[in-house]
Protein backbone atom coordinates (compact mmCIF):
# COMPACT_ATOMS: atom_id res chain seq x y z
CA UNK A 1 0.00 0.00 0.00
CA UNK A 2 1.23 3.46 -0.87
CA UNK A 3 0.61 6.93 0.40
CA UNK A 4 -2.58 8.92 -0.16
CA UNK A 5 -1.96 12.64 -0.60
CA UNK A 6 -5.13 14.74 -0.95
CA UNK A 7 -4.45 18.09 -2.62
CA UNK A 8 -3.99 21.08 -0.29
CA UNK A 9 -4.98 19.24 2.89
CA UNK A 10 -3.94 20.67 6.27
CA UNK A 11 -3.03 18.30 9.10
CA UNK A 12 -6.13 19.33 11.06
CA UNK A 13 -8.39 18.68 8.06
CA UNK A 14 -6.74 15.35 7.32
CA UNK A 15 -7.19 14.18 10.91
CA UNK A 16 -10.84 15.29 10.81
CA UNK A 17 -11.36 13.37 7.57
CA UNK A 18 -9.60 10.23 8.83
CA UNK A 19 -11.64 10.19 12.07
CA UNK A 20 -15.06 11.11 10.64
CA UNK A 21 -18.00 8.71 10.81
CA UNK A 22 -18.88 7.00 7.55
CA UNK A 23 -21.52 4.76 6.02
CA UNK A 24 -22.08 3.20 2.63
CA UNK A 25 -24.03 0.38 1.02
CA UNK A 26 -22.05 -2.51 -0.46
CA UNK A 27 -22.86 -2.97 -4.15
CA UNK A 28 -23.10 -6.77 -4.34
CA UNK A 29 -24.75 -7.58 -1.02
CA UNK A 30 -26.73 -4.45 -0.24
CA UNK A 31 -25.29 -4.54 3.28
CA UNK A 32 -24.95 -1.24 5.13
CA UNK A 33 -21.44 -0.58 6.45
CA UNK A 34 -21.09 2.00 9.23
CA UNK A 35 -17.95 3.10 10.96
CA UNK A 36 -17.03 5.53 13.67
CA UNK A 37 -13.96 6.59 15.61
CA UNK A 38 -14.19 5.99 19.35
CA UNK A 39 -10.90 7.69 20.27
CA UNK A 40 -7.95 9.24 18.48
CA UNK A 41 -4.71 11.12 19.12
CA UNK A 42 -1.79 12.49 17.11
CA UNK A 43 1.78 11.77 18.20
CA UNK A 44 4.47 13.56 16.29
CA UNK A 45 5.95 16.81 15.17
CA UNK A 46 5.28 19.65 12.80
CA UNK A 47 5.98 17.71 9.60
CA UNK A 48 5.33 14.03 10.38
CA UNK A 49 3.70 11.82 12.98
CA UNK A 50 1.29 9.03 13.79
CA UNK A 51 -2.49 9.27 14.08
CA UNK A 52 -3.74 6.55 16.45
CA UNK A 53 -7.45 5.76 16.33
CA UNK A 54 -9.79 3.17 17.79
CA UNK A 55 -12.43 2.48 15.17
CA UNK A 56 -15.59 0.41 15.19
CA UNK A 57 -17.38 -0.93 12.14
CA UNK A 58 -20.74 -2.63 11.86
CA UNK A 59 -22.10 -4.38 8.77
CA UNK A 60 -25.88 -4.78 8.70
CA UNK A 61 -27.83 -6.85 6.18
CA UNK A 62 -30.87 -5.33 4.42
CA UNK A 63 -33.15 -7.23 6.83
CA UNK A 64 -31.47 -5.52 9.85
CA UNK A 65 -29.34 -8.49 10.93
CA UNK A 66 -25.83 -7.58 12.06
CA UNK A 67 -23.47 -9.50 9.80
CA UNK A 68 -20.18 -8.28 11.26
CA UNK A 69 -19.08 -6.05 14.13
CA UNK A 70 -15.46 -5.23 14.92
CA UNK A 71 -13.19 -2.83 16.78
CA UNK A 72 -9.63 -2.23 15.73
CA UNK A 73 -6.71 0.12 16.26
CA UNK A 74 -5.70 2.07 13.19
CA UNK A 75 -2.25 3.55 12.83
CA UNK A 76 -1.97 6.24 10.15
CA UNK A 77 1.45 7.59 9.31
CA UNK A 78 1.01 11.28 8.49
CA UNK A 79 3.50 13.39 6.59
CA UNK A 80 3.71 16.84 5.07
CA UNK A 81 4.60 16.99 1.37
CA UNK A 82 5.94 20.19 -0.13
CA UNK A 83 4.65 20.97 -3.63
CA UNK A 84 6.22 24.10 -5.09
CA UNK A 85 5.00 27.09 -3.07
CA UNK A 86 2.37 25.07 -1.23
CA UNK A 87 2.01 21.64 0.31
CA UNK A 88 -0.34 19.02 1.56
CA UNK A 89 -0.58 16.41 4.28
CA UNK A 90 -0.80 12.77 3.26
CA UNK A 91 -1.25 9.46 5.04
CA UNK A 92 -0.48 5.77 4.91
CA UNK A 93 -2.93 3.66 6.91
CA UNK A 94 -2.28 0.42 8.80
CA UNK A 95 -4.04 -1.69 11.40
CA UNK A 96 -2.45 -3.13 14.52
CA UNK A 97 -2.76 -6.65 13.12
CA UNK A 98 -0.29 -5.61 10.39
CA UNK A 99 2.46 -5.34 12.98
CA UNK A 100 3.38 -1.65 12.79
CA UNK A 101 6.80 -0.70 14.12
CA UNK A 102 5.34 2.29 15.96
CA UNK A 103 4.83 1.86 19.69
CA UNK A 104 3.35 5.15 20.94
CA UNK A 105 -0.22 3.79 20.91
CA UNK A 106 -1.98 4.77 24.16
CA UNK A 107 -2.42 1.82 26.52
CA UNK A 108 -6.09 2.75 26.94
CA UNK A 109 -6.59 1.98 23.24
CA UNK A 110 -5.28 -1.56 23.80
CA UNK A 111 -7.87 -1.98 26.54
CA UNK A 112 -10.68 -0.84 24.21
CA UNK A 113 -9.92 -3.39 21.49
CA UNK A 114 -9.76 -7.18 21.82
CA UNK A 115 -6.62 -8.97 20.64
CA UNK A 116 -7.08 -10.01 17.03
CA UNK A 117 -5.99 -13.38 15.77
CA UNK A 118 -2.84 -13.20 13.78
CA UNK A 119 0.86 -13.35 13.98
CA UNK A 120 1.57 -9.70 14.78
CA UNK A 121 -1.15 -8.38 17.08
CA UNK A 122 -0.09 -9.98 20.36
CA UNK A 123 3.60 -9.36 19.77
CA UNK A 124 2.96 -5.74 18.86
CA UNK A 125 0.87 -5.20 22.01
CA UNK A 126 3.69 -6.65 24.15
CA UNK A 127 6.14 -4.23 22.54
CA UNK A 128 3.78 -1.29 23.17
CA UNK A 129 3.47 -2.24 26.85
CA UNK A 130 7.27 -2.59 27.12
CA UNK A 131 7.73 0.83 25.46
CA UNK A 132 5.45 2.56 27.95
CA UNK A 133 7.01 0.70 30.91
CA UNK A 134 10.47 1.89 29.85
CA UNK A 135 9.21 5.46 29.41
CA UNK A 136 7.72 5.36 32.93
CA UNK A 137 10.95 3.98 34.39
CA UNK A 138 13.00 6.69 32.66
CA UNK A 139 10.71 9.42 34.03
CA UNK A 140 10.92 8.00 37.54
CA UNK A 141 14.73 7.78 37.34
CA UNK A 142 14.89 11.40 36.12
CA UNK A 143 12.67 12.53 39.00
CA UNK A 144 14.83 10.67 41.52
CA UNK A 145 18.01 12.20 40.07
CA UNK A 146 16.51 15.70 40.26
CA UNK A 147 15.52 15.18 43.90
CA UNK A 148 19.04 14.03 44.78
CA UNK A 149 20.65 17.13 43.25
CA UNK A 150 18.21 19.56 44.88
Percentage of the chain with pLDDT > 90? 70
Is 6 contained in some domain? no
Is 5 contained in some domain? no
Is 113 contained in some domain? yes
Q: Say how far apart CA 131 and CA 74 lie, in whole Å.
A: 18
Strands 22-25 and 86-95, by their bridges, are: unpaired
Is 99 contained in some domain? yes
Is 31 contained in some domain? yes
34 vs 95, which has greater pLDDT? Answer: 34
Total of domains in the chain:
1
> Which residue range forms the structural domain that includes residue 135?
11-149
pLDDT tens-digit map of 34-62: 999 999 999 999 999 999 999 999 999 99
Q: Is the pLDDT of residue 64 over 90?
A: yes
Amino acid sequence: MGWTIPYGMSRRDLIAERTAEFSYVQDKTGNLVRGKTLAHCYRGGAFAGILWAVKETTVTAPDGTVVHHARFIECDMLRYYREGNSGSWGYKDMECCMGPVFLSCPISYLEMVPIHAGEYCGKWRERVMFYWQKRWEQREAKKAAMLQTA
